[in-house]
A and B are shown apart, each in its own frame.
Chain A
Amino acid sequence: MDRPIRVLVAKPGLDGHDRGAKVIARALRDAGMEVIYTGLRQTPEQIVSAAIQEDVDCVAMSILSGAHNTLLPKVVELLKAENAEDILVIGGGVIPDDDIPFLKEKGIAEVFTPGTPTSVTIDFIKANVKRK
């Protein structure tokens, strides 16, 4: 039998607003996924190392500080460097629409902006993870 989908929920950068991250973490868990939450102030390096160590299928990052264009692509790059590009990377938070094409180009599979129901995120993960 397949093991449940494993997701790393992470807060990159210095932003401390973690309501969204915690709500999504709990919603994913209630949807039957295994969730690891990193806590605050994670560098891209820490996030990637946790993702590999925990053998996750998806990294979900929440960011409200405006540093998304710097930090999210860096996580994708570092995952590639670790040959872990099969891990699905998604982002959420206060991210202007204008920045979304850039983030997708850099390998962020989807960006969920404020007001997205958790069910949309859950369905997206289910449909897009590459199960090992």
Chain B
Amino acid sequence: MFQKEKLDKIKESFKAYDEKVAETIKKRPERKEVFESGSGAVVNRLYTPADIEDFDYETDLGMPGSYPYTRGVQPTMYRGRFWTMRMYAGFATAEESNKRYKYLIEQGSMGLSVAFDLPTQIGYDSDHPLAEGEVGKVGVAIDSLADMEILFDGIPLDKVSTSMTINAPASVLLAMYIAVAEKQGVTPDKLRGTIQNDILKEYIARGTYIFPTEASMRLITNIFEYCSKEVPQWNTISISGYHIREAGSTAAQEVGFTLADGIAYVEAAIKAGLDVDTFAPRLSFFFNAHNDILEEVAKYRAARRLWARIMKERFGAKKPKSMALKFHTQTGGSTLTAQQPENNIVRVAIQTLAAVLGGTQSLHTNSKDEALALPTEDSVRVALRTQQIVAYESGVADTVDPLAGSYYIEAKTKEIEEEAMKYIKKIDELGGAPKAIDMGYIQQEIMDAAYNYQRDIETGKRIIVGMNKFKIEEEPPKGLLKVDPSVGELQKKKIQELKAKRDNEQVKEKLEALRGACQGDENLMPYILDAVRAYATLGEICGVMREVFGEYQQSVQL
């Protein structure tokens, strides 16, 4: 890109600048001795062409919509249409969540994003003893197809795209979604959406696992295979760095560990006999957006470029769509403060810019009150408006990849790509992501980063406005969302009624058929779908799989 003589000249004048700066600093020191990015990487005073001297436009960037996709996965990006504004929501009962979804659609939300409560995420019915106190708290309680029918009542499933944050029991919830669509007269090939379905990051960072690694990988590849034939527009996995970052990782670790998980899924699917180009176009990713806009933009660009190279060079993918990394973004929950919660609106706006400048395909913005409780309707609206203001008023969506060519952005993109690649190599040496997780390597790396971050806050090295600087006396916030504790009782009653009403013989039969399939090596999706249609509960279906597969045991280390 750069002529050698010109580069030499720049290097010379940089040297002169550096010497001059040294003089200036003696008189007037800079604010800090070392400047660090949001995730702790050293930031130089100035970036010049010399920082990207090997930069080659064609191989490093190319055009948007083509390999290596650094500048985005679509040729026109947001000039064609905006990212999907997808607000993550769900609480209490299916009835209440259904009301919230209708409200969000009315307010201009373009896709639904379903939050399930913890018992649902871990495959327990609401009447299980371990579900006590948890029903309907962090999301909606779904015990059977009957709940799912209420959840999507009056929402035409051929018109919306739905993302479901569900992992260990993803196959069951997907089956319920397909069954609801059937009842609406919508065939599976019309369904659009995503199931998170990323179990590896559950072992690493989020904790809602059920089965041991191997059984989980089988369920995931079963879904890949089933959907490639029956639900072709469905994104079968959202390989998630979000939770890895929330657990305390750096930006480069987020990319490295997430893509290493991605590699594990691709390898598992290939091992199960699938052709890479049949399932790879339906893989999608999920990243976090923290406050350091520039580092985050570089992170998304690095992730796209690295994945494209991995798919092409390592897996021999042929289809362009297999190489293009599409991703959903959520603003960083852990960056929100319980102190002066209004400030969180500003943080979310900054993070929204990061995601959009980085080329996200869909975005969930957090609400200001989320360090305190689940968001209220009002606070969710402000969060959604934040996206709309960035989309319609800021102008950043009018040209593709506007920060490209910035010396800092390109140098940082390269730096994150290289650092992420180092983690991937290390994980390869350990035998792949599932092994590295079983050994606790990934968890340990994240834990160290999280601890350093906390230390930096407590020593004042890292400033969090309103928390460790610019503090004020505050009244406790009012009007937080409270989930009615009677939800648990209500759900229990619904399950009793369901069990009295349904054909229990048929349920038993379908569950036994599923058991048999689990013991063999057939694709489990059709069996799960049959059980769901007969109104077997989530807990019953996962219970059968628990009995056959066993449960994952976490390795705890500090």
Q: How far is the CA of A18 from the CA of B447 in the complex (A)?
A: 10
- Could you tell me if B137 and A35 are in contact, using CB atoms closer than 8 angstroms? no
Q: How far is the CA of A114 from the CA of B466 in the complex (A)?
A: 12
Number of interface residues of B (CB under 8 A): 45
Q: How far is the CA of A98 from the CA of B475 in the complex (A)?
A: 12
- Could you tell me if B118 and A22 are in contact, using CB atoms closer than 8 angstroms? no
- 14 A-B pairs, CB-CB below 8 angstroms? A15-B134, A16-B202, A16-B207, A22-B558, A25-B558, A27-B451, A40-B207, A66-B373, A67-B132, A67-B137, A70-B132, A70-B485, A94-B373, A97-B477
The answer to whether residues A23 and B467 also contact, given A17-B207, A67-B134, A94-B372 and a CB cut-off of 8 A, is: no
- For residue A119, give the distance in angstroms from its CB to the closest CB of chain B: 6
- Could you tell me if A35 and B558 are in contact, using CB atoms closer than 8 angstroms? yes
Q: How far is the CA of A119 from the CA of B468 in the complex (A)?
A: 13
Number of interface residues of A (CB under 8 A): 36
- For residue A11, give the distance in angstroms from its CB to the closest CB of chain B: 8
CB proximity to A under 8 Å, residues B114-162: 118-119, 121-122, 124, 130-134, 137-138
State the main secondary structure of chain A at its contact with B. Answer: loop
Q: How far is the CA of A19 from the CA of B335 in the complex (A)?
A: 13
- Could you tell me if B483 and A26 are in contact, using CB atoms closer than 8 angstroms? no
Whether B196 sits at the interface, judged by CB under 8 Å, is no
Q: Given A27-B451, A96-B480, 15 other A-B contacts at CB below 8 A?
A: A14-B118, A14-B130, A14-B134, A16-B209, A22-B447, A22-B558, A23-B450, A35-B558, A37-B556, A70-B132, A97-B476, A97-B477, A98-B480, A115-B339, A117-B468
Q: How far is the CA of A67 from the CA of B133 in the complex (A)?
A: 5
Render A2-42 as a binary contact track against B, CB cut-off 8 A, 1 for contact. Answer: 00000000000111111100110111010000010111110
A to B contact number (C-beta, < 8 Å): 108
- For residue A10, give the distance in angstroms from its CB to the closest CB of chain B: 11
Whether B406 sits at the interface, judged by CB under 8 Å, is no
Whether B222 sits at the interface, judged by CB under 8 Å, is no
Whether A71 sits at the interface, judged by CB under 8 Å, is yes
The answer to whether residues A19 and B450 also contact, given A41-B130, A96-B373, A98-B480 and a CB cut-off of 8 A, is: yes
CB proximity to A under 8 Å, residues B448-496: 450-451, 454, 457-458, 464, 467-468, 476-477, 480, 483, 485
Chain A residues near B450: list those with CB within 8 A: 19, 22-23
- For residue A15, give the distance in angstroms from its CB to the closest CB of chain B: 6
Whether B186 sits at the interface, judged by CB under 8 Å, is no
Task: List the 10 shortest-distance A-B pairs measured between CB atoms, nearest first.
Answer: A16-B207, A70-B133, A67-B133, A66-B137, A14-B118, A97-B476, A39-B556, A114-B338, A67-B134, A115-B467
Q: How far is the CA of A23 from the CA of B118 in the complex (A)?
A: 23
Q: How far is the CA of A23 from the CA of B454 in the complex (A)?
A: 8
Whether B502 sits at the interface, judged by CB under 8 Å, is no
- For residue A91, give the distance in angstroms from its CB to the closest CB of chain B: 14
- Could you tell me if A114 and B371 are in contact, using CB atoms closer than 8 angstroms? yes
Chain A residues near B131: list those with CB within 8 A: 14
- For residue B256, give the distance in angstroms from its CB to the closest CB of chain A: 18
- Could you tell me if B137 and A94 are in contact, using CB atoms closer than 8 angstroms? no
